[in-house]
Structure 1
């Protein structure tokens, strides 16, 4: 009696561009994503985000020097900071005497999502980034990294936090970051207000 031939599984389909991006974030950085397109990162677990106007964010980065990961999408810059920052921000702004000033500075925390910027590379090995569909990278409105994240370990130690004040680590302290960003947001706001023509009745 002749035995049956084993049933072989179907060959695995190659990962599509979004699947490769999702795989990079989940497996290289340990960041959660949500199902669907575009790929979106879960905020509030591994990091929170300070979302500011691009002009203010770029000006702040010139004053801050090397910092944690920073992404840009459209006219907004997103600075990644330690998880829990959203809850700390109102008190911190009050302590820095920015509490009474209307700033275009938003903190994203638990429950928020962020469009996943195109990965700068496939992993810490220096391999090329996952292939993307033509025209996808750099298309208008797509999120891109200004300062990409490193490995999972590097990201965890580079996120600005209140505990970094006076520490010897390379992480910028959250107080300095928030004060610098708030200052730049206020300058942009004043510049725009001065550029508005006066209304006479």
Structure 2
């Protein structure tokens, strides 16, 4: 009696197995593979230019992925974005944190993905991770079908979600302490850099204006549009 041979494992199934078996993170049953957001982590999302500036300011953030421009599920992404993993439930806290920091609606580029949402599964990172400068991603990190690649990959077997940026008792202190920053400090840095990057893009789009403009970062014009000095500038 003929016996059915096992189907060869595809790279996509290998990606799914790594996230489910090594990391314990649930994935979708779709191709390309996506990670379910909410059960183990939430995601802070921002343009890549702002995100790279955040990475330079905060050397320890938890896992960070770079999302290619293109289609992300049903959404069209017009420019690369950084996806920073934060503690589960953090997405719900983002609006209140922005209000407390006096940013409010001033940072439309800063968003979050929470329970019920998903993110592309980045290519499985090499271990040990290949050395690179903060905020850079070499071409080998993306496969032919991956929409995202890790800038700061998670480490399997270490319950990575236990060290993600969070608020409340036990939250990290960031800085030189070696741990991930608390969520408020991370959002503060992200909101500041998103605002600065938006101003820079607007300035570059009007580069033919006369010389002698005020310095870009938080000029009088930007503060007038904000209507206040954000509390995050003091954090």
RMSD (Å), alpha carbons: 2.6
**TM-superposition CA deviations, 1:143-200 (whole Å, max 9, x none):** 10000001243412221000305598823211111000110000011112223339xx
How many residues are aligned here? Answer: 181
* 2:18 alignment counterpart: 24
Structure 2, unaligned stretches of length 5 or more?
69-79, 129-139, 208-235
- Cα distance change on mapping 1:43 and 1:152 into 2, 3 Å: farther
User: Is 1:45 the counterpart of 2:39 in the alignment?
Assistant: yes
Match of 1:170 among 171, 174, 179: 179
SS across alignment from 1:18: helix
Q: How many angstroms does 1:139 deviate by?
A: 4.3
1-structure distance, mates of 2:2, 2:164: 47
* 1:113 alignment counterpart: 118
Q: Indicate the structure (1 or 2) with the bigger Cα radius of gyration.
A: 1
Structure 1, unaligned stretches of length 5 or more?
1-6, 127-134
1-structure distance, mates of 2:181, 2:60: 8
SS across alignment from 2:158: helix
- Cα distance change on mapping 1:111 and 1:50 into 2, 3 Å: same
Match of 1:194 among 180, 198, 203: 203
Higher mean alpha-carbon deviation, 166-175 vs 73-82, is at: 166-175
User: Is 1:97 the counterpart of 2:102 in the alignment?
Assistant: yes
- State the TM-score, normalizing by the size of structure 2: 0.70
Higher mean alpha-carbon deviation, 9-18 vs 76-85, is at: 9-18
- State the TM-score, normalizing by the size of structure 1: 0.81
